[in-house]
Amino acid sequence: MADSNASRTASTIQSLERDAGTVPPSETATATFGAGCFWGPDARFGALEGVVRTRVGYAGGTTPEPSYYALGDHTEVVQLEYDPDELSYEDLLETYWSTHDWASTAPKRQYRSIVLAHDDDQYETAVRRRTALEDRAGRSAATDVEQLESFTRAEEYHQKYELRSTPVVGDELEALYGDAFVDSTVVARLNGFAAGHGDPAQRDELLAALDLPPTVRMELRRRF
């Protein structure tokens, strides 16, 4: 991409995010979760107010340079950057456990239920909340809690999968956002909405704030 295109894209994106009220906070915290196929949690967390960025990838194993077709001992995970003034790690854990069947052991390591802690505090919080969940539900959790050792970002076609696979919208937004597509807060929200997450007021507010190409707006309106 030529420099002028890149900077035009960057300023378009900045004004889109500003209009949408999704300017990232100066400090974010990071969390990493495995909950089955990563397309689902990417969308679920992307719709959550307070989540700033999402990306999917591979973690929880030791195989170097994992990829989708050579995963080795890794697991599919979603990694989130969030605003710690808006959301606590406990809040994220609640959402995390509500997104998947945490009581059953996944048939493959690729899909295991796992909290990958970024520090001791997250580790201890996750272990404590897992016990609380088990007590509340009266069932034991298959969720592993481990320290995050590495995270390898997944291939581009897996990022924001729900939105990418939405006809018209995926292609248009990818072209509009360019390299900023995956890291955009707006794109994270729209990816979540495309999968049916978020409430109507939240969707209307975001769409009203965005100056999107008419074809994209029409297709999104048709869906939510």
Q: List active site positions.
A: 37
Q: Which amino acid is at 18?
A: R
Residue reference for tokens 């929200």: 189
CA pseudo-torsion sign 137, 143, 148, 154: negative
Side-chain half-sphere exposure of 108, counting CA atoms within 13 A: 10
CB 24 within 8 A of CB 187: no
For ligand MHO, the binding residues in 130-159 under the rule CB under 6 A are 158
Using the rule CB under 6 A, is 76 a contact of ligand MHO?
Answer: yes
Q: Which stretch binds ligand MHO (CB under 6 A): 37-45, 141-149, 172-180, 193-201?
A: 37-45
Between 38 and 97, whose beta carbon lies closer to ligand MHO?
38
| Residue of 116, 111, 145, 108 whose CA lies nearest to 39 | 111
Out of 39, 58, 97, 151, name the contact with ligand MHO by CB under 6 A. Answer: 39
Out of 10, 25, 37, 174, name the contact with ligand MHO by CB under 6 A. Answer: 37
Using the rule CB under 6 A, is 219 a contact of ligand MHO?
Answer: no
CA 77 to chain centre: 9
Using the rule CB under 6 A, is 81 a contact of ligand MHO?
Answer: no
Size of the site for ligand MHO (CB under 6 A): 5
**Distances 140 to 109, 133, 156, 181 between C-alpha atoms, Å:** 18, 8, 35, 39
Q: Which stretch binds ligand MHO (CB under 6 A): 18-26, 35-43, 134-142, 163-171?
A: 35-43
| Shortest spacing between CB 123 and ligand MHO, in angstroms | 26
Binding residues for ligand MHO, rule: CB under 6 A, are 37-39, 76, 158
